[in-house]
Structure 1
Amino acid sequence: MLLTHPSPTPSLDTENTLASGLRHAAIGPLRTESGRVLPATRLAYETWGRLNAERSNAVLILHALTGDSHVIGEATGPHPTSGWWEGMVGPGAPIDTNRFFVVAPNVLGGCQGSTGPASPAPDGKPWGSRFPQLSVRDMVSAEVRLADYLGIDRFALVIGPSAGGHRALEWACGYPERLEQLVLIATSPDTSADQAAWASLQLHALELDPAFRDGDYYGKPDQPTRGLGLARQIAHATYRSAEELNTRFGRIAQGSEDPLRGGRLAVQSYLDYHGDKLTARFDAGTYRVLTRAMLTHDVGRERGGVAAALDLIEAHTLVLAVDSDRLFPAHSCRWLARHIPRACYGEIASLAGHDGFLIERDQVADHLTHFLSLQSD
């Protein structure tokens, strides 16, 4: 889908430290599945470890919906928060940077350095509402060009949780020869009607904020923080299990507030907190672009259906589910594992729901370490 070749492969000889910092790759014009062209596309990315002489030890980590390239490390200028998967990558970690060269891109359409709706269009103004609709395949097309830019023909491992798993599956179905191993965490091969319903509510919450202005709010004094915050609250309610919320909050009031006099329950305050937290670090236009892409996610499209598409996967695969996940239920992950030719299945026990893949890191680490050890034997 890209129209020109990217810049020459950069030298990676110095990319051998754990804190490599944010880099940018110019990957040329990108024609999207919607027929629109992004004329000058770039992806932000971070790396850890060293690429070996054979260029055979690269690992690609694909972040979830509101994640970014900052997998590990302290908050820095480009990244207002610390790494989202601390303990999973580094010397001696499950993804061992003494062994692997880890690449983590910020998704196309993102707001942490990659081309997105806040980026300047050819006229110098932010793309805003003019930014093209993206599909998961468009995002993967850009990531393939990033791999070409880095001189990586084949990844030893591609790993993606949640929406990152959507992209990992597109990699495996669309470019089966370019990955040896695949780890899919709490994800799906297509977006179910239930998932689409929740995504649609988030889009409505965002777009009904008067300050959103159909995406043309950049540079305006009022920003669509209320719509973005509400969209996040809707999403966050699906990221946690009913049992956890009931156990953790019950009918408790928030502090001294009285719900009978307009005060909040503690669970309402909890959701308000997470809505406010996202608005401090994320772009509303990006949230719309990425959520719309989730709505169209379907690896079976133009491949004869989901089962036929999954049969194209050549990589040794681990499908990992969270037993309390109500957004990507464990039963759907088991189905996914059964339909990938060389797949095994693992399950995380957690009350936390979908966010269990972030919270239960010891369990994730055990599953991942065991899987990688089997492949190295």
Structure 2
Amino acid sequence: MPATRGGRQYADVGDLRTDAGVVIPNVTLAYETWGTLNARRDNAVLVLHALTGDAHVVGPAGPGQSTPGWWDGLIGNGAPLDPDRHFVIAANVLGGCQGSTGPSSTAPDGLPYGSRFPRLTPRDQVAAEVALADRLDIRSFVAVIGGSMGGMRALEWGVMQPDRVRNVVAIATCAAYSGDQIAWSAPQLTAIRSDPRYRGGDYYVEAGGDGPPLAGMAVARQIAHITYRSAAELDERFGRDEQAGEAVASGGRFAVQSYLDHHGDKLAARFDPNSYLVLTESMNLHDIGRGRGGVDAALASIRAELTVAVVDSDRLFPPAQGALIATAPTARPLRTLHSAHGHDGFLIEAEQIADVVRSAVR
């Protein structure tokens, strides 16, 4: 049976062969659950996290979990996903750093994988999640739900497991990562790899005793965070004072700089830079149409009812990308979340998200 430590559980899902043909042996996935799997084993809902999320969807921080839930309000009594009705499961993604096999995990030779950890695609990550579902004997899912990077995997679930998923909910995501999105990723990857502490990705062994490349990852997070919020919000909060004619500054620094520093430092306290690289590059490789005759053909292969939601102020995943997904034959009318917060609106606008999810798992 899967091992349990605190609220987090661990399952060995076997060896996994990646899209590129590399075998990752003895893959472990960390996960959390809410509710009980019914006798028919068909009341499960899978929630998929975004880039720096984890399996802890709701609940406070605690032993072994340094951060509170990232989608509070989604799961609970009377919530859209109710443990009295649903068996909700969320797993830390393959390549992550919160208990699932990733670059910081121990390889068969007893050393951390580091630079030897293979490149992943969202399809590889879904293959690991499918193996976890098999391990738990989940026969079908009421819904697979994800936003951003999680939405990419939700779409792949619909394509890869058409007979196992009844509803796919894809929020603030895309069918294929665009050149503009990859361009935003590029300086983030460079920031980490340019940090002198990166050591080619093999910084776990205390060769110099100077620790991981956290400064580089903090810069990467700053770049990413700009894309997560809307230009209008940043300007309203940190723009120029109409009377003084200058942006708010303290101690010679603009307030927006301190804001970005905070978010960079906050991530550095809980995330592994190599996982940031692996997961960012997996997003770059996202394309549901690859090898399937194109995006339209892939969308047409989804048999699950498809709910697509976009954030109207999202500049990382523009609403047009969601509108394209919503052309799938099984898609319901496109849902638009109204938010001043940009891409992060899919995490912040709790009532609107609840309405979208509730309608999909009715």
Shift of 1:336: 1.1
Corresponding position: 1:44 with 2:30: yes
Corresponding position: 1:102 with 2:88: yes
Match of residue 139, structure 2, among 153, 163, 178: 153
Distance (whole Å) between structure 1 residues aligned to residue 78 and residue 361 of structure 2: 13
Corresponding position: 1:230 with 2:207: no
- Find the counterpart in structure 1 of residue 291 from structure 2: 302
Match of residue 107, structure 2, among 121, 129, 143: 121
Match of residue 313, structure 2, among 318, 321, 324: 324
Match of residue 311, structure 1, among 271, 275, 300: 300
Partner deviation per Cα, 1:121-154 (whole Å, 9 max, x = no partner): 1111100001111111111110000000000121
- Find the counterpart in structure 1 of residue 250 from structure 2: 256
- Find the counterpart in structure 2 of residue 348 from structure 1: 337
Conserved 8 A contact 1:28-1:41: yes
Distance (whole Å) between structure 2 residues aligned to residue 342 and residue 266 of structure 1: 43
- Find the counterpart in structure 1 of residue 244 from structure 2: none
The AA in structure 1 aligned to 2:275 is: T
- Find the counterpart in structure 2 of residue 276 from structure 1: 265
Shift of 1:361: 0.6
Structure 1 SS opposite 2:253: coil
| Pairs within 5 Å for 1:147-296 | 147-220=133-206, 221-222=209-210, 223-251=212-240, 256-257=250-251, 263-296=252-285
Distance (whole Å) between structure 2 residues aligned to residue 302 and residue 119 of structure 1: 31
Distance (whole Å) between structure 2 residues aligned to residue 121 and residue 20 of structure 1: 25
Distance (whole Å) between structure 1 residues aligned to residue 93 and residue 334 of structure 2: 27
Distance (whole Å) between structure 1 residues aligned to residue 361 and residue 237 of structure 2: 35
Name structure 1 gaps, 5 residues minimum.
1-9, 258-262
TM-score normalized with structure 1 length: 0.91
Partner deviation per Cα, 1:54-85 (whole Å, 9 max, x = no partner): 11100000000000000011112221000101
Name structure 2 gaps, 5 residues minimum.
242-246
Shift of 1:20: 7.3
The AA in structure 1 aligned to 2:110 is: G
The AA in structure 2 aligned to 1:113 is: G
Conserved 8 A contact 2:239-2:248: no
TM-score normalized with structure 2 length: 0.95
Structure 2 SS opposite 1:210: coil
The aligned length equals: 354
Match of residue 55, structure 2, among 58, 64, 69: 69
Distance (whole Å) between structure 1 residues aligned to residue 344 and residue 287 of structure 2: 23
RMSD of aligned Cα (Å): 1.7
Partner deviation per Cα, 1:151-181 (whole Å, 9 max, x = no partner): 0121111001000011111110111111001
